[in-house]
Structure 1
């Protein structure tokens, strides 16, 4: 199921107003528009503020749905092997996430896999509750695994001590850079982007916009944020890994850029236009993060 390979063209079936659940039943959808998302949410909004849910693409059957809050991205992607959920948000958002999934025609039992961006409470604090509700298999990076299974941040995380502990969850599989989760109808490739956390990942997959196949990249937060005692300049090996991850992100095919905090990639502004295609590229995003990292290192040197 896991492999190191390039993306291939995937079959596309469009069904207006419904999708076929894993049991073969047509399920009506109750989606908002991305323009409503842009109008209802604020830049850098609160983590658990409910907001509109919407289709990221035109692939009604195998598509990507935004099911998160105004401040934290969560994505549900349909495959023939069940729904893949990317991130869960905070534990207190769990009930709202179940509601959002239901509006997207997704029952808890439909969720078969949960992929993580990075191992902080605001993005994966609800993993245990969602795993208990769905029985889903959690896929994460090797550095993130002990954090998820213990509920405690790693001591080498720049933000160690800054986040609430999490309820531990069971990790099914870890992935490294370039490895893929291959499902019937979709392939998700992991891109290692350590920096914001040691275990940070970006995920890449294909979808449909009109008659065009496009690539989505869900790129991690990446910002060089830390506790007062942590110095990036005192950890040159980590900074080198950080920069290498940014270079991998620059090299990724990236028609649609999504991020765990919507405002990090101007998702609100792009959603207001009615399309998330373009507006900010993976290269532009990586460049902006590297500028912040360089500024942080310069400040530490003063």
Structure 2
């Protein structure tokens, strides 16, 4: 049974969060709508073209495609798959979604290099699989990825997305800001309530994360679309200011992991 966010409207059997923004899937750190190990997976509707933001682990791709069609969209209408970073719960489904939709996969240069190589050491999967976080058959399938630099702008139909480098949770993190909708797809940079995801990994940096959140706080954010937990559908910038305030406290912002 799929969970529903309080107050959210639904299109068909899929989650419509706001006009032109849908949620296709999520894991246990969300609504568990596609596969328990998935991140939040979003659909951005640009009219004549759509984009999917993040892909989940790969296990949930059939559920993501089913949700896509229940929104009334066609896989062929998805022209772009955007990755926020290369961790398995966000990038593991990239190859399968690309094959199903024909979409171009886009990410930061570092994410692109990791996913194109199927580098399971660099994306943390090899270690996480040994630790039992992911099952033995979990794999990062390589696929072509178009690298995009921070500051570049993407067109998704009649909408635009600005790419913003937001390292901290991982060194390769990108966020995507849609000015027309005042919507920020922030990956694992910040979450509702000003939470963060502090990892015990070599490329996690609390100092870099604070700088990234400070940068995002300069944007006019109404809709905050994080990689886990629930989206913030109004006043999304509050989560950014909450996180910044918590950096000045002992221990910093609360972590979801």
TM-score range (shorter-chain normalised) is: 0.7 to 0.9
Verify the 8 A CA contact 1:125 1:166 in the aligned structure 2.
yes
The structure 1 residue matched to 2:127, chosen from 161, 174, 181, is 161
After TM superposition, give the deviation of residue 159 of structure 1 in Å.
Answer: 8.1
- Shift of the 90–159 alpha-carbon distance from structure 1 to 2, 3 Å rule, reads closer
After TM superposition, give the deviation of residue 64 of structure 1 in Å.
Answer: 1.2
Q: Between Structure 1 and Structure 2, which shows a larger proportion of helix residues?
A: 1
Q: Which has the higher contact order (CA 8 A, sep 6+)?
A: 1
Q: Are 1:204 and 2:171 an aligned pair? A: no
How many Å separate the matches in 2 of 1:200 and 1:255?
21
Q: Say how many residue pairs are matched.
A: 223
Aligned match of 2:16: 55
Aligned match of 2:24: 67
| Residue ranges of structure 2 left out of the alignment (5+ in a row) | 33-38, 130-137, 190-196, 253-257
How many Å separate the matches in 2 of 1:110 and 1:289?
41
- Shift of the 184–91 alpha-carbon distance from structure 1 to 2, 3 Å rule, reads closer
Aligned match of 1:224: 198
Aligned match of 1:193: 166
Q: TM-score, normalised by structure 2?
A: 0.75
| Residue ranges of structure 1 left out of the alignment (5+ in a row) | 1-31, 39-51, 208-213, 233-237, 271-275, 297-302
Look at both structures and tell me which one has the larger radius of gyration over its CA atoms.
1
How many Å separate the matches in 2 of 1:221 and 1:289?
17
Q: Are 1:84 and 2:45 an aligned pair? A: no
Question: How big is the alpha-carbon RMSD for the aligned residues of Structure 1 and Structure 2?
Answer: 3.1
Aligned match of 1:35: 6
Q: TM-score, normalised by structure 1?
A: 0.64
How many Å separate the matches in 1 of 2:74 and 2:40?
19
The structure 2 residue matched to 1:247, chosen from 214, 217, 220, is 214
